[in-house]
């Protein structure tokens, strides 16, 4: 085989696996303007803190038929340190991985005996922001759990599969064209380091699944229903792809 | 209950300028957007923000539809004496939030 062809095949092979090496992983934070970075850097300017305040109130409220608060069982929110960076995680009762939002709702329904919060509701976002914030500066550390393997593979396949009317894959934008411009925005590497985020475009806090929904609509693909196993598998893969990166939730994004 | 965050230094030297930062939860609905059924979503904004320092007005701001949700306002004033800063946000639909913060001047 001639050397040029060999090099080309090697290039294609690396493109197919296409995972960004740890040293080159870069948070979307670095792709945004200085003024948005300043909002994230200062808790007084970061509107997500308004949700965290609600989260603190909810944490302490006795709710549901069990009449227990999160605090009654878990103590201070700081006891959640290091939790968000290892979600999604495998749930015995669901027999599949669940997101942090779903884990919180599991405690709502099973422990508090209260109705689950709706996805993207102020309550669920507030609690997940509070829990996520406890892991700031911690490295993303997906669980090394063999039960997750097939789900992880499914997430990776979704990430690399062309879909939608534009026939694009996530990888084409976020790996092959990362750092380039798309209609005024720099294409980030798509790391889930800051979720839930306060997005200026939303004028609100939103989950990673809401962000993924935006990208799917942009590709003219059909978004999944919130909480769908497909989203959780994608989240799982995104966390693995971002392993070792410092967590920065709740982040701010344009 | 509306969440509001206020930050200022706990103590300042007399005659020195210090920064006051405020952040408040509010949708700042412009009054220009159409809802799902085509009708206009009524305006719901904060119209005015006021700050007094021991009863003396030191900052007042008119807000408009062009200001984003959850307005962040920061400004400076000069430390004169220890006392109370009073903050008031007022707006559409009888919106009114009042907060106070203490400042020690050495």
Separation in Å, CA of B73 to nearest CA in chain A:
9
Please indicate, yes or no, whether residues A128 and A146 belong to a single structural domain of this protein.
Answer: no
The answer to ipTM > 0.90 is no
The residue assigned the tokens 């939608």 is A164
Residues A122 and A180 grouped into a single domain: no
Host H or E run for residue B22: strand B17-24
A242 located within any domain: yes
Closest CA to A240 of A162, A161, A153: A153
pLDDT-derived band at B36, boundaries 50, 70, 90: confident
Residue A18 has a pLDDT of 61
Residues 6 or more apart whose Cβ sits within 8 Å of residue A94: A102
Query: Are A161 and A65 in a shared domain?
Result: no
Does the residue A96 lie in any domain? yes
- Partner B contacted by A200 (CB < 8 A): yes
Q: How many domains does chain A have?
A: 2
Domains and CATH numbers, chain B: 4-33+40-105 (2.60.40.10)
Check whether residue A125 and residue A147 sit in a common domain: no
Residues A223 and A173 in one domain: yes
List Cβ<8 Å contacts ≥24 apart for A172-176: A173/A215, A175/A15, A175/A18, A175/A20, A176/A15, A176/A18
Note whether residue A21 is domain-resident: no
One domain for residues A120 and A186? no
Residues of A in contact with B25 (CB under 8 A): 47, 50
Instruction: With beta carbons under 8 A apart, name residues in chain B contacting A203.
Output: 27-28, 68-70
- CATH number (domain holding residue A112): 1.10.760.10
Q: Please report, in tens digits, the pLDDT of each residue of chain A (254 residues total).
A: 345 434 433 343 344 446 788 889 999 999 999 999 999 999 999 999 999 999 999 999 999 999 999 999 999 999 999 999 999 999 999 999 999 999 999 999 999 999 999 999 999 999 999 999 999 999 999 999 999 999 999 999 999 999 999 999 999 999 999 999 998 899 999 999 999 999 999 999 999 999 999 999 999 999 999 999 999 999 999 999 999 999 999 999 99
Q: What is the nearest CA distance from A50 to chain B, expressed in angstroms?
A: 6
Which pLDDT belongs to residue A186? 93
Does residue A20 belong to any structural domain of this protein?
no
Size of interface A-B (CB pairs under 8 A): 34
Q: Give me the domain span that covers residue A235.
A: 36-42+141-253
Set of chain B residues whose Cβ sits within 8 Å of the Cβ of A50: 3, 5, 23-25, 70
pLDDT of residue A22: 87
A225 and A163 share one domain: yes
A204 touches chain B (CB under 8 A): yes
Same domain membership, residue A145 and residue A127: no
Does residue A162 share a domain with residue A96?
no
CB A52 within 8 A of CB A126: yes
Structure tokens, A212: 């993924």
Residues 47-76 of B with CB under 8 A from A: 68-70, 72, 74
Question: Does one domain contain both A117 and A161?
Answer: no
A45·B23 Cβ contact <8 A = yes
Q: Is residue A198 part of a domain?
A: yes
- For residue B73, name the pLDDT band (cuts at 50, 70, 90): very high
Instruction: Give yes or no: residues A163 and A216 share one domain.
Output: yes
In a domain, A12, yes or no: no
Q: Is A170 a catalytic residue?
A: no
What pTM was computed for the model? Answer: 0.91
B chain contacts of residue A200, beta-carbon cutoff 8 Å:
68
């Amino acid at each position: 085989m001639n050397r040029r062809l060999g090099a080309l095949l090697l290039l294609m092979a690396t493109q197919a696996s296409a995972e960004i090496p740890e040293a080159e992983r870069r948070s979307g934070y670095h792709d945004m303007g200085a003024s948005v970075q300043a909002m994230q850097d200062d808790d007084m300017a970061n509107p997500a803190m308004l949700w965290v305040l609600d989260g603190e109130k909810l944490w302490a409220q006795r709710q549901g038929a069990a009449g227990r608060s999160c605090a009654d069982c878990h103590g201070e929110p700081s006891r959640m340190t290091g939790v968000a960076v290892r979600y999604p995680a495998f749930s015995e009762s669901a027999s599949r991985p669940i997101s942090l939002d779903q884990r919180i709702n599991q405690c709502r329904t099973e422990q508090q005996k209260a109705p689950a919060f709706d996805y993207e509701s102020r309550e669920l976002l507030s609690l997940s922001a509070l829990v996520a914030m406890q892991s700031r500066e911690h490295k993303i550390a997906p669980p090394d759990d063999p039960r997750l393997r097939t789900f992880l593979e499914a997430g990776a396949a979704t990430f690399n599969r062309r879909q939608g009317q534009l026939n694009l894959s996530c990888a084409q934008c976020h790996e092959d064209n990362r750092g380039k411009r798309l209609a005024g925005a720099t294409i980030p590497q798509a790391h889930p380091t800051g979720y839930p985020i306060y997005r200026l475009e939303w004028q609100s806090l939103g989950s990673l699944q809401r962000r993924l929904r935006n990208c799917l609509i942009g590709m003219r693909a059909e978004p999944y229903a919130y909480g769908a196993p497909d989203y959780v598998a994608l989240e799982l893969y995104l966390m693995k792809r971002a392993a070792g990166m410092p967590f920065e939730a709740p982040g701010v994004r344009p | 209950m509306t969440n509001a965050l206020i930050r200022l230094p706990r103590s300042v030297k007399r005659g020195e300028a210090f920064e006051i930062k405020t952040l408040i939860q509010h949708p700042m609905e412009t009054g220009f957007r159409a809802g799902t059924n085509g009708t206009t979503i009524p305006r719901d904004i904060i119209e005015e923000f006021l700050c007094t320092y021991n009863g003396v007005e030191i900052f007042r701001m008119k807000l408009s539809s062009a200001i984003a949700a959850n307005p962040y306002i920061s400004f400076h004033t000069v430390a004169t004496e220890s006392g109370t800063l009073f903050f008031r946000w007022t707006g559409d639909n009888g919106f009114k939030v009042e907060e106070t913060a203490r400042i020690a001047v050495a």
